[in-house]
């Protein structure tokens, strides 16, 4: 049971960061494309609280983790409200905003891979910090897998996922 809880405590922060960063990318690119909707609703700051949905960001991941006996979890943040009619160039803006979340997830996966490699290279010199390095490497490994999964999941052409706007 202790291992089960420890693993979940490694997964949950990575999942929350990933889905919030995904939605933040949508909000920021929509604002840059001329849509002030997310900004007006307070969804543009880096503060994760406005993006967290109690059901999809907390209860669903915990429930899936428990039901799958620690094998799987998934979650989502509140979708950022976007009004494509406000974009300077409607079609281009819709494509850029829709792809921003996927690009953010892939960037996070690459950064997690870099952290994983750097920690692996530094581990022989870690000494007493070896447990911390191992934990951080585990979180980086989860970040890689989770963000690649989120990126490809969001590319499915099913509304309201990002892929439905890219076709």
Residues classed as catalytic? 23
Structure tokens at 40: 């007006």
Structure tokens at 92: 């281009």
Kindly state the DSSP code that residue 27 receives in the 8-state scheme: H
Place of tokens 């953010």: 104
Angle, to 10 degrees, between the axis of helix 2-32 and the axis of helix 60-67? 140
Judge contact between 109 and 102, C-beta under 8 A.
no
């Amino acid at each position: 049971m202790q291992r089960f809880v420890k693993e979940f405590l490694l997964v949950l922060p990575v999942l929350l960061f990933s889905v919030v960063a995904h939605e933040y990318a949508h909000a920021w690119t929509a604002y840059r494309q001329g849509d002030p909707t997310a900004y007006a609703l307070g969804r543009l700051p880096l503060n994760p609280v406005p993006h967290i949905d109690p059901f999809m960001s907390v209860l669903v991941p915990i429930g899936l983790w428990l039901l799958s006996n620690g094998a799987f979890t998934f979650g989502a943040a509140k979708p950022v409200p976007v009004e494509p009619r406000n974009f300077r160039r409607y079609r281009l803006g819709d494509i850029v905003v829709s792809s921003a979340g996927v690009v953010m997830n892939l960037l996070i996966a690459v950064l997690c891979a870099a952290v994983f490699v750097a920690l692996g290279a530094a581990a022989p010199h870690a000494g007493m910090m070896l447990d911390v390095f191992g934990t951080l490497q585990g979180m980086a490994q989860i970040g890689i897998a989770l963000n690649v999964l989120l990126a490809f999941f969001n590319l499915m052409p099913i509304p309201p996922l990002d892929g439905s706007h890219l076709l």
